Amino acid sequence: MKRKNIKVLSLFDGISCARQALKKAGIPVGVYIASEIDPYAIKISQKNYPFPEIIHVGDIKNVDYKDMQASFDLLIGGSPCQDLSIAKKNRKGLDGERSGLFWEYVRILREVKPKYFILENVASMPKEAKEIITKELGVEPIMINAALVSAQNRKRLFWTNIPNVTQPEDRSIYLKDILEKSVDEKYNVYSDNWRVERNTCDVNDKSRCLNASNYKGALNDGMSLIRIGQIGKGGQGDRIYSPEGKSVGLSALGGGRGAKTGLYLVGNVNPSGRGMNGAVHNSIGKSPTINTNKGEGQKILVGEQIRKLTPVECERLQGLPDNYTQGVSNTQRYKALGNAFNVDVVSHILSFIPDYKKN
């Protein structure tokens, strides 16, 4: 039996990860209308899905969807989270300028009356906001961590009326599995003011002897961020993680040296041979040693390199093909990827639509 082409309205479409998720789920698309205002995100979307594969209609607030009633099979979108996330101080919640756009989603949901809908947002939102969204949409959210299907620790809530959605199977993917073999020098981070956490062993050791203060979660849960050090005072963008675990969740904003991707100890020096403490070491030979500083007893790994992730690595974390976001500046690539859906999580949810569910 041939599957009918699905008609989709994607709000806050970004770089059209929902379109990519439909493709990955094997669901044929007939009409895909996207609402988005970021010109860089639209440029990335149009590069990968030129008109008429995706029809862009502009600002969610300026489009009258009443004429589209009963014409869509799926309404999907991730309303902005900036006023809900714990990362923002003095957050205004659903009354904020950005996260208040949730009410536009509700308006359009009622106008369009699609057969199915999905709304995505951060899992760290206040309890009150979660309860309001749940009441308005009439369904309880499902929390899915993208760490199950990728190398990224990214917890998100999904409100959907697609029935019987379960948790994805754990694919046991870690950051080391998606790293590029060779990257440009510009991604390296140099600082003479960094340290490894107390009681932390070399990441090359088989026994990852880290204590409870060195990571989030349990090492045997397969979902951990393994924090092994920090630069300076260790703000969110200056924390250093091991590629043996998961990456931090990609962010559209954020500061520090790691900014939108986090910092990672990749296990080799840069081409000039300059180590993190300013010493010169050969990248060929045995695994780097751990030296103990005098005074505080902090440890420094000699000859190891710290760097942020490349745009291609971030694309892999979000389940996108390599160079999907190519064509705009790296700054805009990071921003777009930080705002994006995880394609594999959304593809998993879409696979439960009864008309398209695989037997």
Q: Judge if 56 and 147 occupy the same domain.
A: yes
Q: Find all residues with CB under 8 Å of 38, minimum gap 6, and list them.
A: 14, 336
Domain that includes residue 282, residue range: 181-309
Q: Judge if 240 and 199 occupy the same domain.
A: yes
CA angle (269 as vertex; 264, 273 as ends), nearest 5? 150
**Highest-confidence segment of 60-64, 164-168, 220-224:** 164-168
Q: Judge if 145 and 24 occupy the same domain.
A: yes
What is the value of pTM for the model shown? Answer: 0.82
Q: Judge if 159 and 194 occupy the same domain.
A: no
Tens of pLDDT along 82-110? 544 555 555 555 555 555 788 899 999 99
Residue 300, sorted as left (phi over 0), alpha (psi -120 to 50) or beta, turns out to be beta
User: At residue 155, what are phi and psi to the nearest 5 degrees?
Assistant: -85, 130
Residue 239 lies in a domain: yes
Which range is least confidently modeled, 30-39, 130-139, 286-295? 286-295
Q: Judge if 31 and 130 occupy the same domain.
A: yes
From the candidates 81, 201, 209, 314, give the one annotated as an active-site residue. 81
Active-site annotation holds for 81: yes
Instruction: Answer whether 261's CB lies under 8 Å from 253's CB.
Output: no
For residue 317, which amino acid is it?
A: L
Q: Judge if 86 and 31 occupy the same domain.
A: yes
Tens of pLDDT along 291-345? 323 333 333 444 568 899 999 999 999 999 999 999 999 999 999 999 999 999 9
Q: What CATH number is associated with residue 99? A: 3.40.50.150
Q: Judge if 141 and 208 occupy the same domain.
A: no
Q: Judge if 342 and 262 occupy the same domain.
A: no
Q: Judge if 280 and 343 occupy the same domain.
A: no
Residue 320 lies in a domain: no
Residue 80 lies in a domain: yes
Instruction: Answer whether 160's CB lies under 8 Å from 117's CB.
Output: yes
Identify the residue whose tokens are 């309205």: 9
Instruction: Answer whether 263's CB lies under 8 Å from 306's CB.
Output: yes
Instruction: Answer whether 184's CB lies under 8 Å from 163's CB.
Output: no
CA distance 62 to 266: 47
Q: Judge if 189 and 277 occupy the same domain.
A: yes
Strand partners, 196: 229, 299
Tens of pLDDT along 199-244? 444 444 333 333 333 334 444 455 688 988 888 777 777 888 889 9
Question: In total, how many domains does the chain have?
Answer: 2
